């Protein structure tokens, strides 16, 4: 356990008051339904939200976009008479469909793990069913879109070959040179399988290399714990590593979906965390600001219990305060960030507290070719380094266009 003192923070009206955040009644309802603190105060907050004017035609698509439909159903089914029966029936159907889907995903995950294990390939389920059961305690309460598996980079190509036995194939075809470049600078291969397209992601890093967030995946494997998924014991990230990985993933997407903040809040609430280790690893990796924003959002929006010392540390950080305001203002809009704009680039720079990391991000972004460059022109292997020049011109062009639009 950590030496940092932690005191539970109750779900307060201040935390979920639209006067503080400017949220619509519909988004406020999602926040109350997704809150991790379940107590008389949270029940009162839910009843108060249901007493306001709520446009139910907005609630359902908003919940679907933010990936919290099961949590909304779980909360609203406990309030008979306050929710239109047609809305509850629709939510019940969505919840049941999600549960059946997740059960199928879980069976497929176990089949994949068995295959990789038979070939001597260590793999850690990342997010997906493992997160649903470990953090949510119920497979049906987390929406899943695919399966994510972490493997060591040296095992990626072996895993690719092994998965052929199950009918899985990469959904993008690369030349040998492109595949080597992808392994060096990318972070995942996406596979189509018998159960659907884009179903499986084999990842050897948490983010592409150009983000300059160099989390040590070997360390993840060395510190791996175990979890129960579908009645089977599987490898799992340690609670501290899982928290950091999900904070980084949410930061990449600018925390635009509530489910990513809810994952983080759920880990804080359900897992025994060594906060000293969390903070030290975040500091070593240069992601302390990403961690701070994630914890503040989880605390302020969803009532997660964050150690007082950490809350105070980041509460006084003016840049984190400005970023949290920007993020919370954009979050209810149901619009993804365009990752190829100057605006997104500036945001990613602001999320890094060290100038050296900002410089590495800018350099790698400008000079790290990817599928986009390879598809523009096919170069012979001896000329492969020229893709860096193509990448530079393409990035510069995108930024000039986005700058002109603003």
**Is residue 217 pLDDT above 70, yes or no?**
yes
**Is residue 371 pLDDT above 90, yes or no?**
no
Domain boundary among 183, 205, 237: 237
Q: What is the DSSP letter of 216?
A: -
Gap between the Cα atoms of 141 and 160, Å rounded: 31
**Is residue 170 pLDDT above 50, yes or no?**
yes
Instruction: Looking at the structure, tell me whether residues 109 and 224 fall in a common domain.
Output: yes
Domain boundary among 237, 264, 282: 237
**Is residue 4 pLDDT above 90, yes or no?**
no
> In this structure, are strands 147-150 and 196-203 parallel, antiparallel, or unpaired?
parallel
Per-residue model confidence as pLDDT tens digits over 307-317? 988 877 777 78
Per-residue model confidence as pLDDT tens digits over 120-158? 999 999 889 999 999 998 999 999 989 999 999 999 999
Per-residue model confidence as pLDDT tens digits over 218-249? 999 999 999 999 889 999 999 999 999 999 99
Per-residue model confidence as pLDDT tens digits over 23-59? 899 999 999 999 997 766 777 788 888 888 789 999 9
pLDDT of residue 136: 93
242, part of any domain: no
Do 98 and 70 touch, CB atoms closer than 8 A? yes
Res. 13 pLDDT band, cuts 50 70 90: very low
Q: What is the DSSP letter of 30?
A: H
168, part of any domain: yes
Number of domains in the chain: 2
Q: Which helix (H) or strand (E) holds 190?
A: strand 188-193
The contacts of residue 390 (CB under 8 Å, 6+ apart) are 369, 373, 376, 377
Instruction: Looking at the structure, tell me whether residues 232 and 343 fall in a common domain.
Output: no
Q: Which helix (H) or strand (E) holds 235?
A: strand 232-236
35, part of any domain: no
Cα 17 to Cα 21, 38, 68, 301, 322: the distances in Å are 7, 17, 20, 10, 19
pLDDT of residue 375: 86
Res. 22 pLDDT band, cuts 50 70 90: confident
If one compares 150 and 175, the residue with the highest pLDDT of the two is 150
Query: Which range, 107-116, 177-186, 320-329, is most confident?
Result: 107-116
284, part of any domain: no
**Is residue 11 pLDDT above 70, yes or no?**
no
56, part of any domain: no
Per-residue model confidence as pLDDT tens digits over 55-99? 999 999 999 999 999 999 999 998 878 899 999 999 999 999 999
Res. 8 pLDDT band, cuts 50 70 90: very low
55, part of any domain: no
Grouping H, G, I as helix, E, B as strand and the rest as coil, residue 187 is coil
**Is residue 396 pLDDT above 70, yes or no?**
yes
**Reduced DSSP (H G I as helix, E B as strand, rest coil) percent helix, strand, coil of the chain, to 5:** 60, 10, 30
Question: What mean pLDDT comes out for the span 115-121?
Answer: 97
Question: What mean pLDDT comes out for the span 329-336?
Answer: 81
Domain boundary among 215, 237, 259: 237
pLDDT of residue 341: 85
Do 341 and 398 touch, CB atoms closer than 8 A? yes
Residue 152: Cβ-neighbour burial (10 angstroms; 0-12, 13-18, 19+): middle
Angle in degrees, CA 69, 72, 75, rounded to 5: 150
Res. 19 pLDDT band, cuts 50 70 90: very low
Its domain, for residue 398, covers: 337-406
Q: The CATH number of the domain where 125 resides is what?
A: 3.30.460.40
393, part of any domain: yes
If one compares 82 and 356, the residue with the highest pLDDT of the two is 356
Grouping H, G, I as helix, E, B as strand and the rest as coil, residue 148 is strand
Gap between the Cα atoms of 174 and 178, Å rounded: 6
């Amino acid at each position: 356990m950590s030496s940092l003192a932690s005191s539970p923070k109750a779900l307060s009206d201040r935390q979920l008051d639209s006067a503080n955040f400017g949220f619509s009644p519909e988004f406020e309802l999602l926040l109350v339904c997704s809150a991790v603190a379940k107590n008389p105060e949270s029940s009162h907050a839910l009843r108060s939200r249901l007493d306001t004017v709520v446009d139910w035609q907005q609630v359902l698509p908003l919940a679907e976009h933010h990936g919290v439909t099961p949590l909304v159903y779980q909360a609203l089914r406990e309030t008979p008479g306050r929710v239109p029966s047609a809305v509850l029936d629709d939510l019940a159907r969505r919840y049941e469909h999600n549960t059946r889907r997740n059960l199928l995903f879980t069976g497929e995950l176990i089949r994949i793990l068995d295959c990789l294990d038979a070939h001597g390939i260590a793999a850690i389920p990342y997010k997906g069913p493992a997160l649903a059961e470990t953090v949510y305690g119920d497979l049906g309460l987390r929406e899943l879109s695919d399966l994510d598996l972490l493997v060591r980079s040296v095992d990626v190509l072996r895993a690719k070959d092994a998965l052929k036995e199950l009918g899985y194939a990469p959904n993008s075809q690369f030349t040998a040179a492109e595949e080597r470049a992808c392994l060096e600078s990318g972070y995942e291969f996406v596979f189509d399988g018998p159960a659907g397209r884009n179903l499986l992601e084999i990842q050897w890093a948490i983010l592409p290399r150009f983000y300059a967030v160099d989390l040590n995946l070997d360390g993840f494997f060395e510190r791996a714990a175990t979890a129960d998924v579908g009645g089977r014991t599987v490898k799992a990230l340690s609670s501290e590593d899982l928290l950091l990985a999900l904070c980084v993933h949410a930061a990449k997407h600018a925390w635009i979906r509530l489910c990513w903040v809810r994952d983080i809040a759920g880990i804080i609430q359900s897992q025994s965390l060594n906060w000293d280790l969390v903070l030290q690893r975040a500091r070593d990796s240069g992601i302390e600001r990403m961690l701070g924003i994630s914890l503040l959002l989880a605390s302020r929006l969803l009532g997660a219990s964050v150690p007082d010392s950490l809350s105070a540390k980041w509460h006084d950080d003016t840049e984190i305060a400005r970023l949290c305001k920007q993020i919370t203002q954009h979050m209810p809009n149901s619009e993804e960030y365009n990752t190829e704009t100057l605006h997104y680039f500036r945001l990613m720079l602001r999320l890094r507290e060290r100038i050296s990391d900002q410089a590495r991000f800018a350099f790698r972004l400008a000079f790290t070719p990817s599928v986009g460059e390879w598809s523009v022109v096919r170069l012979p292997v001896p000329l492969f380094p020229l893709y860096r020049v193509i990448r530079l011109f393409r990035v510069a062009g995108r930024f000039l266009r986005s700058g002109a639009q603003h």
